[in-house]
A and B are shown apart, each in its own frame.
Chain A
Amino acid sequence: MAHGIGAPCVPVVEKGDYVKTGQLIADSEAFISAPIHSSVTGKIIEETSVLDINGNLIKALVIDTEQKNYFCSKITPPKIDTREEFIKAVRASGLVGLGGAGFPTHAKLNYDREKYNVDVLVVNGSECEPYVTTDYREIMESSEDIIKGIKLILEKCGISRAVIGIERNMPHAVRLMRERVADEPNITVKALPTYYPQGAEKVLVYNTTRRIVKEKQLPYSAGCIIMNVTSVAFIARYMETGIPFISRRVTIDGNIVNKPSNLTVPLGMTLGELMKKADLRLQPDRIIFGGPMMGKSVYDLNTPIGKTTGAVLFFKDMPEDRATSCIRCGKCLRACSMNLMPTEFEKSYEMRDLKRLRKLRVDLCMECGSCSYICPGKRNLTERNKLAKDLLRGS
């Protein structure tokens, strides 16, 4: 009953009810929260609780699925004229930001127009992490929907132009999108340098528009609004068909996967079921939800695929990295996309030196994992950063 950021939803159906695909099963009165729809047809047999990837127990409904999918009769394309109706329709679709954090899209679109002068829609077509290829497939498979979605958002929200940012290591995608936008005057495609974390909000805004989002401010303040290509394409499809957000594309990859692939997975499918489809060579000893940099290891086969799960990676026999001493090479300083000093964070955290942590601005760390990755001493720098942030928040 909770996908991404926002208030958790309350079920609107009861145990024993028969639900059809696309039927609303949970909603919340809070604005920053997206409703949840059933992704399958079947009978609700149990109301239980499952562990989400952050280790919190969340409420869940178990649906005994039938062989066939019957779409709910209430599914009709929404009628939209004004911005308010558009935002209402987006909320009803249950869409959340698919880039990773899962901020409800309608809340993102519902910015204060008097306060912020938003004139650029930045469409994020650069993968958020290595291994993940969902955005690439979206561009290759549904480029027309993306263009339609962008035009719809530009029109309804009164934004003047859009920039699609795609990393250079996907030349096919760049070429395809350039062809599509050839006769669209207010949409441009920008090829971005390939590096991690290109998909991060502030990095992307800077690389596409050369505007700087200041600390603790939203991209609105730089006149930008950011949406993932998949979200944009989904909005276009939803406005045509009315089918809510009930499935998403998930990358299956890892060193024991025979055929790395992108699967369209109904939301709420458990990891165990997905593993049966994944064509694995061996029993994995590490499963990661999300990318290798920021993703979380999961152990429970009952963990459901959520709205924000972009990839599931299966690994076995990963090299065991023993952390050695810091040799002060400074590689983490250069790798940090926020120009912070992870080594100093680590030392100050060990000393519990809050004053120094505050001075070093550990709160700006976005936990991208670059410092841990680059460290030749295999030190868990990102984890220390997270702990240091928690320490600061707690004090």
Chain B
Amino acid sequence: MQASPSDRPVLRLSGISKSFPGVRALSGVSLALYPGEVTALIGENGAGKSTMVKILTGIYQPDAGTIEVDGQVTAFPTAAAEATAGVTAIHQETVLFDELSVAENIFLGHAPRGRFGLIDKAAMVAQARALLARIGANLDPTITLKDLGIANKHLVAIARALSIDARVVVMDEPTAALSYKEIEELYELVERLKAEGKAILFISHKFDEIFRIADRWTVFRDGELVGAGMMNAVDEAQLVQMMVGRPVDQIFPKRQHSLGAPVLTVAGYCHPTEFQDINFTLHMGEILGFYGLVGAGRSEFMQALFGITRPSKGACRIDDRIAVIRSTAQAIAHGIVYVPEDRGRQGAVKGLPIYQNVTLPSLGRTSRHGFLRLAREFALARQYTERLDLRAAALDQDVGLLSGGNQQKVVIAKWLATRPRVIILDEPTKGIDIGSKAAVHAFMAELAAEGLAVIMVSSEIPEVLGMSDRVIVMREGRMVAEFGKAAMSPEALVRAAAGIGERAAA
């Protein structure tokens, strides 16, 4: 179609599929990267972008598909052979070694050798200095990496890319943790890399930067390729449409809307680094959605509400009485419970049997004078695990032996057994199969119908739209928008979360 000199891709992946137990992460997607061009990879969380990066950098091997370098079909990279395939990645949290010097990080594995095969330190530092100068970075190569900020760490990673003569540079949300000025510097660097003929894969949720630096776009949705093309032939609305525009095909439970009395009022919750000025009122029977990009501060706020971290300012009222929450035990006593996103670490206590997991926060009720009463524990555990239709061989089975979905059920059973007022579900269906998702959704509706107030943190737009009575959108630690049932639309949510409207207004 285009007759530009960069018509031939340096790297082309076709028909890539990758499955994980219970999840199909990628099915038959293609991606082409062109020398001297930036290709933006766009998609919602869970669309398969990260899986693609991991295949490119050799962390995962695909189940099917081919890779061509300069038109030649080659073997997929493995982690060790990544550098030789000429692909290097710059992640949000760049994988570098904090205790080594800048020069050592740049040349790790391919340092210049001197006599006896020992590393020629002087040559390494000199070459590192030259590379850093090439990208306009004013860094001392002998400094230890841990003393650098994120932006400078990105520079080191890019210098490393140059040192291995990488032809493809993957940037996975490189600006997520950078300041405005640092972002500008990164853009300049991207231009320099383009001028050197590198092919760049740029992953970002921020549309302004995609339009600023990308030449081509590729959109993934639910592990499938939606489309690809040149940036100058597309506009923001079209991209948003492609990114979220699936028909809301999942069937969400119909709910009667009869909101009860206010249960929880949060006023002016602040944290020095994670979130600012959070205010809302939650009613009985309500499902309140929290939407935002990863890192928007939603989980951090929820954990403050649950007593894991302490807010620096702000108050919280339950049933119109001030509630002081300084520990998880106090939060539970006030009827606030939290189903975490990180199920492995924060959710189930693996190693303990199912019934002990369920009764852990309810021991005060099942025991007498601090002494355990096992019969009561088993009865309580049975009551709630059966309500959640848990699939397990026995209640004294180690919870770690259960599937992810069933572990999630144990965590929810644990909280329901405390008879909470407010249940916070953080990404409740992330990484679980469609069938279990529907069960979780139905259950949430059931809880709300019983008068429980539900907060649902979710990055999945259909889930937010299908389940919430109201949505609060957070960006960079602040509440930026609030939508009632009628005003919600996928486009509005994405725009608010990515800050598109503000850019137009500015």
Q: Are A and B associated in one complex?
A: no
Residues of chain B whose beta carbon lies under 8 Å from any beta carbon of chain A: none
